[in-house]
Structure 1
Amino acid sequence: MNKKRVWGGLAVGLALTLVLAGCGGKSSDDAGKIVIGSQGSDAQIWKHIAQSQAAKDAKLNIEVKEINGGVELNNATKDGEVDVNAFQSWAYLDSYNKDSKADLAAVATTYLEPMGIYSEKVKDIKNVPDGAVVALADNPANTARGLSLLQAAGLIKLKDGFNLGTGSESDVVDNPKHLKFKLIDDTTGPRVIQDVDLVLIGNTVAMEGGLNVLKDSLFHEEISVDTKHNINVLVTTSDKQNDTGILKLGELYHNKDTQNYIEKEFGGTKVPVEKPISYLEE
């Protein structure tokens, strides 16, 4: 037998194996670990889940990496720095994908965290003064979300077909109280509450500022068809959206132990939503 042919065949076989392995990509299962990017109260929840018996039973090795900023978290997911992120609403994800020409995918719903209207100057939503200054988040998804909430509170009217992900102040068609809108960094809401008449704050930021949306807001979101785009989701890259380990994360979030922990820690301000992603796409 020709030894050169034998060694040549082995070399070709080894090279082919390496190429095929490379084509398969690195999934979280291959790595033996799922890295979740998160921030604030969401990071706290996922640290609890990572240490839970349910995670051990599911044979999931979860690492939580804290990254501040929504765009930064999505960029880290897109670039492979983390496998999954947990912080954003469906509308925020949609806005990011369009603005960044990205293809991140939602794999599970988690909760609706109500946005609230807060004030230290106004005691009743029905008594908002004429010309009141209203602070809205400056990112498109939360600007639109805030405007939708102002409409639900009866303070403004938005045009028909208002885009729930990218709508802006220019879409206000009736403003009977002549509200004046001021765009702010959405993480600064609690700090500007004294400087404006009304401020719209997402619940994660509100809690970090010592506010409880159910007790301290003048008006807040409720779960409905009109607010389903504000449901929070777990997000990964499109090539990992069918990863078995990643899909198990949604089950871990909604198990009894996790929900008891969330209720105890956050007093009902994170309303659990267990729906298929198709519900959000309708």
Structure 2
Amino acid sequence: MMDGELGAFLRSRREATPPDRVGLPAGPRRRTPGLRRAELATLAQVSVEYLTRLEQGRDTRPSPEILAALADALRLDGADREHLRQLAAAHHSRQLCPQGRGTASRTVRPSVRALLDAVRDAPAHAANRLGDLLAWNDPFDRIARPLGLLDGARPNLTWYVFTDERARDAFPDWAATADHQVAELHRQRRGDPATDAFADRLARTVGTPFTDRWRRRPVSAPAHGVRELRHPQAGPLRLAYETLSLGDDTGQWVVVQVPADPVSAGRLDHLLGRRPGRLRAVAG
């Protein structure tokens, strides 16, 4: 659960920060590749006792100044800093609203479904913060169904990536895809008990490939980029994706994909049964 997550996140970043990154010598007798508590405490100008209480979850209300000092000392990037801020905010939100966020929403607004249908030439789908695929258009169906991604009554991209053997064939860079899915889970977590329950199910089902990533607490999940697929009918595809937040409290977003090069554009045209050149490849 989220209790103690602020401290656990700080500890994960301390243990992942090599001394030379912050200008400290590694030393010959170091038992861990990361920073010691005393080293981080010195860099952030806090006491070791206070840092220990934070990491153990015995102090959950650090001031913004202390969080900023720790973030600076650890050289956190923008995504990690934002996640740290959200973890602190989530604790205060739970004090005001102890019931939490509840079950991840699976209800898609009619206007979102209409938007997906209106995107006729490009694969597009709507998902929630657990990776549940909630709605999609016909081009996405033609790409995803042969991969097995839409099997079952409640298809879920994260579950597919970690539990379906076909996923390792579908995604040539499977490790990067798995990292991305775990980062999305952590980034969207924010005190949500449904995310913790889902992560527990994955941990029991998959084991190390998921739990090792979950413990690292990644949060940098790019909202756009290029994803490679090995499609059983179209062959290799490079698809540029854009993630569009719906801008409400449902924790849902729409993902639209377009071919990233002319070869992928031609193969996608063929798969969708349309005139070649209908959908242009993006530059780069």
TM-score (norm 1): 0.23
Higher alpha-carbon Rg: 1
When you count strand as a share of all residues, which structure comes out higher?
1
Structure with the bigger RCO (C-alpha within 8 Å, sep 6+) is 1
TM-score (norm 2): 0.22
